[in-house]
Structure 1
Amino acid sequence: MDFDGAMRQAIEASHAAQGVSSPNPPVGAVIVAPDGTVVGVGATAPPGGPHAEVVALRAAGESARGATAVVTLEPCNHTGRTGPCAQALLDAGIAEVAFAVADPNPAAAGGARTLRAAGVRVHDGVGADAAAAGPLKAWLFRQRHGRPMVTAKIASTIDGRIAAPDGTSQWITGPDARAHAHRTRSRIDAIVVGSGTALRDDPSLTARHSDGTGYAHQPVRVVLGQRDLPTGAALRTGPGYLHVHSHDPADVLAALPEALWVLVEGGPSIIGAFADAGLIDEIDHYLAPAVLGAGAASVSAHRVSTLGDRLLLRREEITELGDDLYVRYRRRS
């Protein structure tokens, strides 16, 4: 069968679990009948709900018997809030399993061994690179490093300005770039700004569609800094608000013990503080075709005094968004 095509569909399905499944991994699963027909698709539900394999098996029903399960992560082998997925696959009569990434969590690993011992044909490493770079990326990062993956978002002019000298900043980028940024918000666990930005701009930091309605999933909205926000501030209404009264970015991550992916939106001093602390893993840069020549810079860091101190990145993605460019950079290891 076409394992690669089914894995691409499983990865696509896993996007629906991003931000929703945390702290569990956002997994996607596809059940393929012997004739090649996809009979079930699933993504991991919120904690306490079924994992992707179980969702897909329920969709497949009796058609799962003798079928193949294609999963982005090795089926779990332990009982937590739910039962082991490896056993659920066996109970459903699955004959073959293909998965992309081995589970690095020793408490949950071993599903492949259990399946093989029961006579199921198991293929590992199918589409591993694509799956590891997809929605699983932040969860895998947390497994390796013990903290959330941190992405800094910058929307700037060609000369690196995020606001004019008079403070005006709406809008640096166009509607396509803003829509893209809101889709990212809808997939993260938390979004961070400094208290200065929160007081000056009174942002809501919610994830919104172009018509103004909210996405189903909303990130926890975090303010870092000593200054309190007024009672009527936009951030103090609506879902998920957290104020970390500190200047240390590490305190933000400590206050989010189950987060997988954190987005830092600014201002420049907060992004600089995360950079100085070595806590920026990616940068999402939205580049507008404009020059201001003066105004606020996108990052204000203090650790860099010479070229050798710079944060080195590699480009992972570049996309045209209307007149703007979106570039994702990854920190070099």
Structure 2
Amino acid sequence: MQELHDAPLAPLTTFRLGGPATRLLTATTDAEVVAAVREADASGTPLLIIGGGSNLVIGDKGFDGTALRIATEGFTLSGTSLELAAGETWTDAVARTVEAGLAGIECLAGIPGSAGATPIQNVGAYGQEVSSTITEVVAYDRHTRETVTIPNAECSFSYRHSRFKAEPDRFVVLRVRFALEEAGGLSAPLAYPETARAMGVEQGERVPASAARETVLKLRAGKGMVLDPEDHDTWSAGSFFTNPILDAAAYGDFLARVRERLGPDVAPPAFPTGDGRTKTSAAWLIDRAGFTKGYGDGPARISTKHTLALTNRGGATTEDLLALAREVVAGVHAAFGVTLVNEPVTVGVSL
């Protein structure tokens, strides 16, 4: 297991921000992961788990403790059953399932990060979420000090949330298992209107899985959501804020503010969640509050391709990024009474 001291963490994140860790360990096997976690817990050393670094905002002072980078490998496909080691690159795994002619995660192509992070955030995009295909998660339980297998029903999946996110200091994901679909090389039914439109088909239709994947990659690239070292619009964590889900009272107040600010004929995006609540679009809120693409004049700005991404234009600090995020949160709340919540995990800092 590789060990470094006073190790820079910024290169391990897609934001390319953050100070150093007191110690950085890189684990390439499940046994090394468990051993490192047990050592940190036994000594009372603060522990930071790093996968692909695509969902981390690390403070400029860094991390006073042990950072553990999970770099395990393992892609095992048996029929329609898939097992991924936590350190596997997610977008590469998606490509391999499509090459195998299987459906279920093809519209999650291009999402940066590692496989182990996908159940934590219940990663989703373009009409698919990993919770619909995950069968179980193998994790090290820091409370019981043993490796456990948690079935889907016990993962408490919801929109961009899970049991693992709710208990961030308990579980360290080691492996993720999926049940995919053999559909003769076709995709799952397209659930997202934008994807269907881009492919010239009706929502709910199936298309070749490879074509669905390529379409999603093009859509994501157009929004700066596919990693490219030369494109500062991708020096981000993707969507920085989750889409707000409002109860009936809050949604009514929101609509009143929209009409007052934008006029009686303006209808914001609305997606009933089936429990009396309504999800609306964070990107719409940000844009209508005056934070348009490319907003900002410092080294941290809103993406020129998508209002939901905050970016490092080069030379930014984490404090630059947080100042922009706080400005956006305050502006949206002042305009619409809705408080945006950051999606990336913050380390040593907060909004």
Smaller-chain TM-score range? Answer: under 0.3
| Larger gyration radius, structure 1 or structure 2 | 1
With the length of structure 2 as denominator, give the TM-score of the two structures: 0.23
With the length of structure 1 as denominator, give the TM-score of the two structures: 0.24
